[in-house]
Each structure stands twice: as C-alpha cells, then as structure tokens.
Amino acid sequence: MWDLLLTDANLATMRGGRYAAIERGAIGVAGGRIAWVGAAAALPGPAAGLARACESLDGRWVTPGLVDCHTHLVYAGNRAREFELRLSGATYEEIARAGGGILSTVRATRDASDTRLAQQAARRLRRLMDEGVTTVEIKSGYGLDTATEMRMLRVARLLGDMTGAEVRTTFLGAHALPPEYAGRADDYIDLVCGEMLPAVAAAGLADAVDAFCERIAFSPRQTARVFDRASALGLPVKLHADQLSDTGGAALAARYGALSAEHLEHTAEAGVAAMAEAGTVAVLLPGAYYFLRETRLPPVATIRAHGVPMAVATDCNPGSSPLTSMLLALNMACTLFRLTPEEALAGATAHAARALGLAATHGTLEPGKVADLAAWDIDTPAELAYAMGANPLYAAWKGGVRRA
Ligand SMILES: [Zn+2]
C-alpha cells in the first residue's frame, strides 16, 4: 500500500536529461520516495486499492521538484541604492565611496543578527519555493571571518527547518578579500585553509567548498590551496570559474574532480574538455549575465559537443543577480544562452541535482528517488521556459509531503 497515488498526470520524468515524457501517467509514493512511475494503464491494480490517498491531477504536468544549485541566498541588506546610483551615472569610485560593492554586503551581514539573516533569507527562499523549487544550494561568503562564515552556514541549515526546503550548504570563504586583509590575499587564504575550513568541517556545516577564481578575486594558485585543504578534509569542491576572464578555472576545477564549475563565460575548449573528462557539471547563470549586461556568452555549443551536462541556477545574490525566480532563469537560459527548453528544464532538475552530488536521489521521476514533485498548469513542458512572469505551479511535494 502506497501513501499517495497521483493519477491523470503527464510526466516529464527528465530521465537522462530529456523530457522522457509519459502521458496519462501515474506516480506512487511510499515512505517519502517514488515507489512507482509509469502509464496509468500499467498500474498494478485499481487506483483505489493501491494507496491510502489518491489524487487526480486532471491532465496537469508533473516534473521533478526544481533544484536551484547555485545561490548566495543568505545576506543582509540589499544593493538597490547602488543600482540606482549606477543608473544615475555614478562611477565605480563614487559607488565605493558611498559604501557600495560586495564589502557593503559583508558589513551588513556581519552586523545582522541570526534572526534577521534568517528572516530575510527565508523570504527569498519562499519565493523560489512558490515556483516549485524543493532543493536549494546556499553559499556562505559574506562573512569572510570565521565566526560570520559559520553563522551564515548555520542560518542556511536553519532555513531548511523553517521552510521545508532541502538545503545544501557550500562554504565560500574565498569569495572576496575582507577589508582587514587588503593587500594580503595570501594571508587571508592562510586563514581560510588553516582556521575556517577545519572549523567548518569539524562542525559538519558544509556539503561542499567553493571559491571565486578571478582577477578581481583569487588566483588559480590560491584557489588550488583552498581545494587541497578541502580535499584533505574530504569535502567536494565547486568553482566560480572564468566569469570575467579565462583564468583556466574550468580546467582547475576539473583537475580536482569538482562537482561543478559555474559561470564559464570565458572558458576555452580545453577547459570544457577537462570538465567532460572529470564529469564536472557546467552551471550556467543567466541572471548575472543579464544583470551585469555582459556580452560574452558561455560556450554552450562547445559544452554540448563535449557532452558536459548543463545546469541552470539563479545565482541569487544582492550584487550581480538579485533573482528569486527559477522560471525566469530558465527563460533567460533559452533567450540569452540559446538552450532549448528541454535543456533548461534538465538544467533545473537532473543536472542541477548532479551539480550538488545528488544525482542518485534527486532530479528525476524514477522509482527509489526522493518524492520531490512539482505539478504545473501547463499544456507542454516547454511552457516553463517560455512564459515570462507567469507562475503555473499547481502543487509541490517535498519527500512526498505536500508543501504548496
Ligand atoms: Zn555565485
């Protein structure tokens, strides 16, 4: 006897990163897992006798719950004033003097109480969940000192309890250079490797370790030091790579067997080939590309040609992508990066799960997987990437429990 049986549903199972659709399908759920998926006609008996609860979805589409695999959701304040200044013609220097930039977010985050951080982030997370997100990755990286980095990760974990979403945490101590280390990046990396990483690992607060490898952030050599330490502590790595210039970030990530390399606008073919070899997922972040009005597109054709799985995420953050809509991220991935709607949806389900190391349990509608489901008022799955500003979510289940 299953706990729940959903019938009269069209299923985009996303098996193998394709729609792999089953029309007039059904899904059985037991113990929070998917127990059965298939055509309703193939059910092993009359629906009423198979499950304690039975719900007809009247022909709606069901997809795996969406996975936002790259966010900086926990931060205090926002940068709307900076946005306004820039659009009024202020220069970078004037904005910095007015207290703008990433360090303004660091200051606000350090000053905020845990309660305030959690309340602000929960509001953003609920907006994602309202559009079918059931799993979200959240990075630290606005504390840049040991205590605040650990606070950010604790708040991120707390958000899971507050909202019912599944939260995967990533330690991003090497995000930017804190003001007290100005001109001493190597000393700061000493702190990240010698104090922060061991503390975060000992407290079990991170599922992965990330760094920002870029001319304006940390060098490949400094990034490698962080990755060496993470690997020694048994933590998987991922990397903000080649967003503004080709620093060889994608190849560096691949060398460490990274779960994912993210942004990739400037990645050359050798980097993509290394990712294919290592099984590293390419995470595309069209929200940042749009908000920063970048012009250099990620090498999607090359990524495709090498068979590297592509994920799509919001990169929700106050400076370069204040985006809390996975559906808009899917639309931008298609309109700006020329992904197909099927690729975009795979990027928000199967491949996003893989980017978080969750490929075995999340991201597709298959027996044995966690019953994270989203039901949509749509006639075809392409509508999820096609419409702008619409939210066709009808219902969502996390581990078989209805959340929306
Ligand atoms: Zn990011």
Q: How far is the CA of 330 from the centre of ligand 1 (A)?
A: 17
Mean pLDDT (whole number) for 93-114: 88
Q: How far is the CA of 377 from the centre of ligand 1 (A)?
A: 31
Q: How far is the CA of 372 from the centre of ligand 1 (A)?
A: 25
Mean pLDDT (whole number) for 376-395: 97
Q: How far is the CA of 300 from the centre of ligand 1 (A)?
A: 19
Q: How far apart are CA 87 and CA 81, in angstroms?
A: 10
Q: Residue 138 — φ and ψ, nearest 5°?
A: -130, 130
**Contacting residues for 332 by C-beta, under 8 A, at least 6 apart:** 286, 287, 289, 290
Nearest to 112 by CA among 147, 150, 75: 75
pLDDT at 95 over 90: no
Mean pLDDT (whole number) for 190-195: 98
Give the residue with greater pLDDT, 341 vs 216.
Answer: 341
Q: How far is the CA of 4 from the centre of ligand 1 (A)?
A: 37
pLDDT at 98 over 80: no
Two tokens, residue 5: 């049986």
Q: How far is the CA of 173 from the centre of ligand 1 (A)?
A: 12
Q: Do 370 and 307 meet the contact criterion of CB atoms below 8 Å apart?
A: no
Cross-strand partners of 260:
238, 281
pLDDT of residue 91: 81
Q: How far is the CA of 57 from the centre of ligand 1 (A)?
A: 36
Q: 309: number of CA atoms within 13 Å, CB side?
A: 25
Q: How far is the CA of 380 from the centre of ligand 1 (A)?
A: 31
- Mean pLDDT (the chain) is 96
Q: Given pLDDT bands bounded at 50, 70 and 90, which one contains residue 94?
A: confident
Q: How far is the CA of 72 from the centre of ligand 1 (A)?
A: 6
Q: How far is the CA of 50 from the centre of ligand 1 (A)?
A: 45
Q: How far is the CA of 172 from the centre of ligand 1 (A)?
A: 9
Q: How far apart are CA 293 and CA 114, in angstroms?
A: 33
Q: How far is the CA of 211 from the centre of ligand 1 (A)?
A: 9
pLDDT tens digits along 257-313: 999 999 999 999 999 999 999 999 999 999 999 999 999 999 999 999 999 999 999
Q: Do 173 and 149 meet the contact criterion of CB atoms below 8 Å apart?
A: yes
Query: What is the torsional sign of CA 394, 400, 402, 404?
Result: negative
Q: Given pLDDT bands bounded at 50, 70 and 90, which one contains residue 352?
A: very high
Residue with tokens 């210039």: 245
Q: How far is the CA of 240 from the centre of ligand 1 (A)?
A: 6
pLDDT at 96 over 80: no
Cross-strand partners of 67:
135
Q: How far is the CA of 101 from the centre of ligand 1 (A)?
A: 15
Two tokens, residue 102: 């990433």
Q: How far is the CA of 263 from the centre of ligand 1 (A)?
A: 8
pLDDT at 200 over 90: yes
Q: How far is the CA of 9 from the centre of ligand 1 (A)?
A: 35
Report which DSSP code applies to 370: B
Q: How far apart are CA 108 and CA 87, in angstroms?
A: 23
Q: How far is the CA of 210 from the centre of ligand 1 (A)?
A: 9
Two tokens, residue 42: 């193939």
Give the residue with greater pLDDT, 207 vs 81.
Answer: 207
Q: How far is the CA of 23 from the centre of ligand 1 (A)?
A: 37
Q: 393: number of CA atoms within 13 Å, CB side?
A: 24
pLDDT of residue 67: 98
Q: Given pLDDT bands bounded at 50, 70 and 90, which one contains residue 233?
A: very high
Q: How far is the CA of 366 from the centre of ligand 1 (A)?
A: 30
pLDDT at 23 over 90: yes
Cross-strand partners of 284:
312
Q: Do 235 and 209 meet the contact criterion of CB atoms below 8 Å apart?
A: yes
Two tokens, residue 292: 């920063």
Mean pLDDT (whole number) for 195-223: 96
pLDDT of residue 12: 98
Q: How far is the CA of 71 from the centre of ligand 1 (A)?
A: 6
Q: How far is the CA of 189 from the centre of ligand 1 (A)?
A: 19
Q: How far apart are CA 146 and CA 241, in angstroms?
A: 24
Contacts 24+ apart (CB under 8 A), 80-85: 82/319
